[in-house]
């Protein structure tokens, strides 16, 4: 049926993803051969230590510590990079592309910082650079954005792209856990690192947001363009209040096209209406919600991380690259640099909580500060807290800069004991 062609695969790294990929190539070899004609062979595997014991069954004759030798081996047809980090991954990928070899990578950090250089190198070489596993792990997202939706006028992409923080927020919501207890549980389950900063402060989600924005809007967005806030300041009280009003609290990565020319990219916790599909994404699952002018609303849901799910995404890319070798490459090409809309100029509705002295006239004083910055209050609730009171506000949509100035001025008031969490509120 299909012309059979042998495809020699060079794999850089043999950890969870690289090892999982080797397992899948072995298990699914015959199915892929029958369906595509690609006879996939693991030809060489670059590792840090040859003697280390591994879960995966790999012929030790294929192992080498010289990654550059794998990339430069004329017998290697496709290179899969699973070592992570910026260097030497960047140099190895550029060398593979320059040698006319398609590359598959799961390297979020590299793409979020040097994506444009790599996409341009792939285009110049006329070969594929595929990276489905770099964002939202196992979820087919990059391919639908790059192919199915290439002609779609996408207006906004909102994603839950960090499983650790979604697990923590789910535990806080469903078990009433505190942030610290939920984090400790995530750490004990291996969902969170011992130093959880990259996850809980939104750095990981920010890198993914940059990649999503680049692919969705066809412009170069880097991690440094992404405004980010994390979840470490969120309290049980915030989540309980959001639940009472019909919202779930989620850490969202949001990329949107503003006035058709500028791109706004940010990561922050948000109140999401319970009727919105993102609200029901629980535990460590990821989901990405895409809004298009013609297609309407789409959502892609699945495992954001994990060795075998990520290996599955790499495997899909590998098959694509392997079957594309003879037909030349598809790539993002040279992306123009994005025009970035500053977070200061984005409008959102806000949830704000303030601990104030429980005395007459406080609300008038506080409300005057909102008014002075043109921030309009949609609703207010007051809760007693012993000698203090807590005021919880939801604002109408307001410019970020005006809200930040409001918060700064509120913090200066004698009657304000503490400015609590701020959450942006997503509409229906």
Which residue in 52, 101, 108, 208 is the catalytic one?
Answer: 208
- Distance of closest approach, residue 100 Cβ to a copy of itself, in angstroms: 16
30 is an interface residue for a copy of itself by CB under 8 A: no
From 60-68, 175-183, 292-300, 353-361, give the range in contact with a copy of itself by CB under 8 A. 292-300
- Distance of closest approach, residue 339 Cβ to a copy of itself, in angstroms: 16
In the shown chain, the binding pattern of residues 145 to 184 toward a copy of itself, with x for contact by CB under 8 A and - for none, equals --xxxxxxx-------------------------------
117 is an interface residue for a copy of itself by CB under 8 A: no
- The set of residues, in sequence order, having a beta carbon less than 8 Å from that of 324 and lying 6+ positions away, is 102, 128, 330
Distances (CA, A) of 129 to 148, 151, 316, 324, 329: 17, 20, 13, 11, 8
- The set of residues, in sequence order, having a beta carbon less than 8 Å from that of 184 and lying 6+ positions away, is none
Tell me the three state secondary structure of residue 82. coil
Identified binder of a copy of itself from the candidate list 9, 12, 24, 89, rule CB under 8 A: 24
Instruction: For helices 163-174 and 179-188, give the axis angle rounded to 10 degrees.
Output: 130
Neighbours of 330 (CB within 10 A): 19
Neighbours of 428 (CB within 10 A): 6
In the annotation, is 260 catalytic? no
Q: Produce one character per residue of 150-185: b if its CB has 16 or more CB atoms within 10 Å, e if not.
A: eebebebbbbbbbbbbbbbbbbbbeeebebeebbeb
1 is an interface residue for a copy of itself by CB under 8 A: yes
- Distance of closest approach, residue 273 Cβ to a copy of itself, in angstroms: 12
In the shown chain, the binding pattern of residues 317 to 346 toward a copy of itself, with x for contact by CB under 8 A and - for none, equals -xxx--xx--xx-x--xx------------
Contacting positions for a copy of itself (CB under 8 A): 1-2, 20, 24, 27-28, 31-32, 34-36, 123, 132, 138-140, 143-144, 147-153, 218, 275, 277, 279-282, 285, 287, 292, 294-303, 306, 308-309, 311-313, 315-316, 318-320, 323-324, 327-328, 330, 333-334
Q: Among all residues, which ones are annotated catalytic? A: 208
């Amino acid at each position: 049926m299909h012309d059979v062609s042998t495809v020699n695969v060079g794999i850089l790294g043999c950890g969870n993803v690289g090892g999982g990929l080797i397992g899948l190539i072995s298990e699914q070899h015959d199915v892929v051969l029958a369906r595509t004609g690609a006879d996939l062979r693991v030809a060489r595997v670059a590792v840090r230590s040859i003697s280390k014991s591994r879960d995966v069954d790999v012929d030790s004759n294929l192992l080498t510590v010289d990654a550059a030798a794998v990339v430069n081996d004329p017998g290697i047809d496709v290179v899969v990079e699973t070592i992570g980090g910026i260097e030497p991954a960047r140099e190895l990928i550029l060398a593979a592309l320059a040698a006319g070899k398609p590359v598959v990578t799961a390297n979020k950090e590299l793409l979020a910082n040097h994506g444009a250089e790599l996409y341009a190198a792939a285009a110049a070489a006329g070969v594929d650079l595929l990276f489905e596993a770099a964002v939202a792990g196992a979820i087919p997202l990059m391919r639908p954005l790059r192919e199915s939706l290439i002609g779609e006028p996408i207006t906004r992409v909102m994603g839950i792209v960090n499983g650790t923080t979604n697990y923590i927020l789910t535990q806080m919501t469903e078990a009433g856990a505190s942030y610290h207890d939920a984090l400790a549980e995530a750490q004990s389950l291996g969902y969170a690192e011992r130093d959880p900063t990259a996850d809980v402060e939104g750095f990981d989600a920010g890198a993914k947001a940059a990649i999503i924005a680049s692919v969705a809007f066809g412009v170069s967005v880097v991690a440094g363009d992404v405004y980010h806030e994390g979840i470490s300041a969120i309290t049980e009280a915030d989540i309980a209040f959001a639940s009472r009003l019909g919202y779930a609290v989620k850490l969202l990565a949001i990329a949107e096209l503003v006035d058709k020319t500028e791109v706004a990219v940010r990561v922050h916790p948000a109140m999401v209406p319970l009727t919105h599909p993102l609200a029901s994404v629980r535990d460590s699952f990821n989901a990405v919600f895409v809004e298009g002018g013609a297609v309407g609303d789409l959502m892609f849901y699945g495992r954001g991380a994990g060795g075998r799910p990520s290996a599955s995404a790499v495997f899909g890319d590998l098959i694509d690259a392997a079957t594309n070798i003879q037909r030349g490459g598809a790539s993002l090409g040279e992306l123009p640099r994005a025009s970035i809309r500053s977070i200061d100029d984005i409008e959102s509705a806000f949830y704000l909580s303030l601990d104030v002295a429980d005395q007459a006239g406080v609300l008038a004083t506080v409300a005057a500060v909102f008014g002075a910055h043109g921030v309009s209050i949609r609703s207010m609730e007051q809760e007693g807290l012993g000698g203090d009171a807590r005021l919880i506000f939801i604002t109408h949509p307001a410019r970020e800069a005006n809200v930040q100035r409001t918060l700064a001025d509120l913090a200066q008031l004698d009657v304000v004991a503490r400015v609590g969490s701020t959450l942006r509120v997503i509409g229906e």
